[in-house]
Amino acid sequence: MADAPQAIVVPADHRQMDFPTFLKLHRGQLVNSGVPEIYWPSVQKKIRDEVYDAGRYFGMMQVESDEEEEEGGGDRNNPTPGEHSWCVVVTSEDGVDTSDASSIFLVDHAWTFQYGYARLQLQKVLGLLDRMAALMDITEEMSEEEKTERVLDEMWRFTWHYKLDFQGATADDRIAFWYVNDEFGSRIQHSDEPTCRMVPFYYVPTKTSYTLMWLLQDLDSGDELTKDFADGLSDETERKCRLLAWIPEDFTHITPNEGISIDDAFFAARLKGSRETLPIPEATRNPLTNREAPYKVYTDIQVIRDNLTDSRFQLVEEESQADIIWMKDHIRDFKTFSVERPEVYLNQFPFEGILTGKDCLAYIGQATVTNQEPGALENGPKWLPTTFNLSWALPKFVSSFQQREERGLDNHWILKPWNLARGLDTQVTNKLHHIIRLSETSPKVACKYLEDPVLYYREDVGQVKMDIRYIVMLQSVKPLKLFTYKVFWLRFANKPFSLDHLDEYEKHFTVMNYTEGGTKLHQVHYDDFIPIFEKQYPDFPWKDVESSIFGAFRELFESAVSREPPCGIGHYPMSRSIYAIDLMLKWKRGEQGERTMQPVLLEVNFCPDCDRACKYHPNFFNDIFSTLFLDDFKDRPVAVIS
């Protein structure tokens, strides 16, 4: 039996920490970042003693570029933007020797931020805006607001990132931190054949981040210090994509939608490592039947325990006693479950992740369009935004972006991580270099941002964005049996909508119930909303809008069950589930040029937060369970979709 891990004792004064303790705290970082072991003692010593000695060996030089080079779109080996060009060279007469154990250098971070706070920091931190403008060579006269916008735009060419990953880290903890190196570090230019490497390093005792820089070869006096801005990438096309933030490249020869639809290779790679198994359907022996005894329900979700009061269901404390297991976490081994508990119902379906993963959702939607033109700049059905998986189709996305730009089409996009909810690490931008940099931090999709959404008038604010959440109930895959709860929930932005200040959360996002600082949550009940909506839009009866919404739900699930796992949701007679579908309405032109409302599905969530549903509708889970397990949905706010 292995010994229990020992706690690492760190002295109150980190300067008293010995080297073995330093390694216990930081070995993983050093190894994963590829820092040569010869330099490890110097890393500790220089941090401990605050030794920033790069200036003894290197110097910054301003370089004048000739006009032909500027007109050509940038120098591949000197791409950092700004009015001036810079380089860093060896100034030590003896050069720098990589075999010297002290030849690793600390680079300070001039600015560290998480994206949602960048504007606020530039406005509030004394001197930060002017320092960043100078570092980015923004020298012309302009107002504070104009300077802030310029820095927020240019910073993506100067920023790098790291994440904190530790035992017990939440999704919020893993959001990327962006940083700008100091003037010295920011002047080091790109080269495909770099002479140094630079990596972020987080010093645990003081919770401080640095950049470590070391040479890849011996350098003589006058040699230039360069790094690879696409470090670790070898594929030529992928490198050109990643370097677009600094070096222009034309991708318009690539057809945006060729090969964008579902293929088995995508799912094989996407789901590799999920270890999800399929159930054995013939193992089940308790089909849904009416019976006098109540169904025994085991759940680890408190809101169900508090609100499932229908006498036909009985809550139990032990999972082994249950006829129905309703859990907040996914199970992966359906095969074993179906053999060991063949008589037990479960609140999830095999491979339902093809709906709840944002990248897979896009592929499922795109599979409904069979005559997509390869050169089209849109993809997928009308009820799903044009979406690109940036891990698989970055060149296609770049081609689409550049072609849209050439044609003068709107180019606002929203970047979303595959598997995070609540708007975490989600950003809106119309800048290609911004999108390229964001795609580095985690697997993301780029979805066309709705530039013309249907807005809701708030008397206290004005015209704001809104989104709508429906709960859908999947009772069966073969045949498809799908219901939706007719009570829906609304979320509103807190500031008037406009296509500016794209980093302003309360203007462009509607999820306010998870934000810090007491952000106001504007609530309107669905049956109050409908007459208000019809008053604001008298030509659009809600029953017609809702009918088009339900039609989108039907098409989505018909596509999701049309293929066998892992490319579709798996059939299992003992599965039942609910999903939250978030959507918005947008304006579009009909065949006769008339203005129409089009529902656009945003995401699908497994095991959604239903506290708000139960607060205003105490019978919510009674309705859900009665529909899914007893086929009892008459006289309930439930609509049959399929």
Q: What does the pLDDT look like over 153-177, one tens digit per residue?
A: 999 999 999 988 765 556 666 788 9
pTM: 0.90
Secondary structure string (H, E, C) spanning 50-72:
CCCCHHHCEEEEEECCCHHHHHC
At 172 the pLDDT is: 66
What token pair was written down for 298? 């085991």
Q: Which range among 72-86, 107-121, 475-489, 507-521 shows the weakest confidence by mean pLDDT?
A: 72-86
With a cut of 90, say whether residue 3 has pLDDT above it: no
At 368 the pLDDT is: 87
With a cut of 50, say whether residue 612 has pLDDT above it: yes
| Phi, psi of 453, rounded to the nearest 5 degrees | -75, 155
| Domain contains 280 | no
At 78 the pLDDT is: 54
Last residue of a domain, one of 202, 233, 264: 233
In eight-state DSSP terms, residue 437 is H
Beta strands in 462-570 (DSSP E): 462-464, 466-476, 481-485, 489-492
Tell me what the mean pLDDT of segment 452-470 comes to. Answer: 97
With a cut of 50, say whether residue 178 has pLDDT above it: yes
d(C-alpha 399, C-alpha 259), whole Å: 14
What token pair was written down for 111? 């600015």
Cis peptide bond upstream of 479, omega within 30: yes
CATH number of the domain where residue 105 is located = 2.170.270.10
| Domain contains 219 | yes
Find the distance separating the first CA and the last CA of the chain, reported in whole Å.
Answer: 54
* Residue 457 or 11, more confident: 457
Tell me what the mean pLDDT of segment 346-374 comes to. Answer: 88
pLDDT per residue over 614-623, tens digit each?
999 999 999 9
3-state secondary structure of 184: helix
Domain extent, residue 157, equals 14-233
Q: How confident is the model at residue 74 (pLDDT cuts 50, 70, 90)?
A: very low
| Domain contains 261 | no
Distances (CA, A) of 627 to 457, 469, 620: 35, 19, 11
| Domain contains 624 | yes
Tell me what the mean pLDDT of segment 633-641 comes to. Answer: 96
Any residues with CB less than 8 A from the CB of 185 and at least 6 apart, and which? Answer: 107, 108, 198, 211, 213
Q: Which range among 5-14, 434-443, 481-490 shows the weakest confidence by mean pLDDT?
A: 5-14
* Residue 577 or 79, more confident: 577
**Mean pLDDT over the full length of the chain:** 90
At 166 the pLDDT is: 62
CATH number of the domain where residue 507 is located = 3.30.470.20
Last residue of a domain, one of 211, 233, 255: 233
Number of domains in the chain: 2
| Domain contains 249 | no
Tell me what the mean pLDDT of segment 362-378 comes to. Answer: 82
CB atoms within 10 A of CB 606: 19
pLDDT per residue over 226-258, tens digit each?
999 999 999 999 999 999 999 999 999 999 876
With a cut of 50, say whether residue 76 has pLDDT above it: no
| Domain contains 387 | no
Distances (CA, A) of 561 to 64, 269, 350, 379: 61, 20, 11, 20
Last residue of a domain, one of 189, 211, 233: 233
With beta carbons less than 8 A apart as the criterion, state whether 482 and 396 touch.
Answer: no
At 390 the pLDDT is: 92
pLDDT per residue over 334-343, tens digit each?
999 999 999 9
d(C-alpha 386, C-alpha 389), whole Å: 10
Tell me what the mean pLDDT of segment 51-58 comes to. Answer: 97
Q: How confident is the model at residue 293 (pLDDT cuts 50, 70, 90)?
A: confident
Of the candidates 412, 404, 396, 394, the residue with the CA atom closest to the CA atom of residue 453: 412
At 108 the pLDDT is: 97
